[in-house]
C-alpha cells in the first residue's frame, strides 16, 4: 500500500511540475528586459549620435557592395 501511494505521489508531482514553465518565464522576461533596454538606449542616445562616427553594420556593407 505504501509503495503504490508513493508511486502515485511521484506521478502526481511529475504531472503538476511547473519548473519548466517557470524557467521559460524567466528566460522570456530576461529577453524582454534586454529588448526594452536596447530600444530605450536607441531612443535616448543613439538617435542623437553623429552617424558619421558610428561603426558600419555588416548589413550596410552588404548593401553598399551590392549597389
Q: Please state, in angstroms and rounded to a whole number, the distance separating the CA atoms of residues 45 and 32.
A: 20
Asked if pLDDT for residue 1 goes beyond 60, the answer is: no
Task: Give the pLDDT confidence of 11-25 residue by residue, as tens digits.
Answer: 888 888 888 889 999
Q: Given a cut of 90, is residue 56 above it in pLDDT?
A: no
Helix/strand/coil for 45: coil
CA dihedral 28, 34, 40, 46 (to 10 degrees): -140
Cell digits of residue 13: 508531482
- Give the global pTM: 0.48
CA 51 to chain centre: 28
Q: Is the predicted pLDDT of residue 26 greater than 90, yes or no?
A: yes
Amino acid at each position: 500500500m505504501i509503495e503504490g501511494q508513493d508511486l502515485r505521489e511521484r506521478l502526481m508531482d511529475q504531472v503538476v511540475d511547473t519548473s519548466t514553465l517557470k524557467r521559460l518565464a524567466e528566460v522570456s522576461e530576461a529577453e524582454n528586459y534586454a529588448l526594452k533596454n536596447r530600444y530605450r538606449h536607441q531612443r535616448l542616445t543613439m538617435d542623437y549620435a553623429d552617424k558619421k562616427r558610428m561603426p558600419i553594420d555588416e548589413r550596410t556593407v552588404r548593401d553598399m557592395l551590392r549597389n
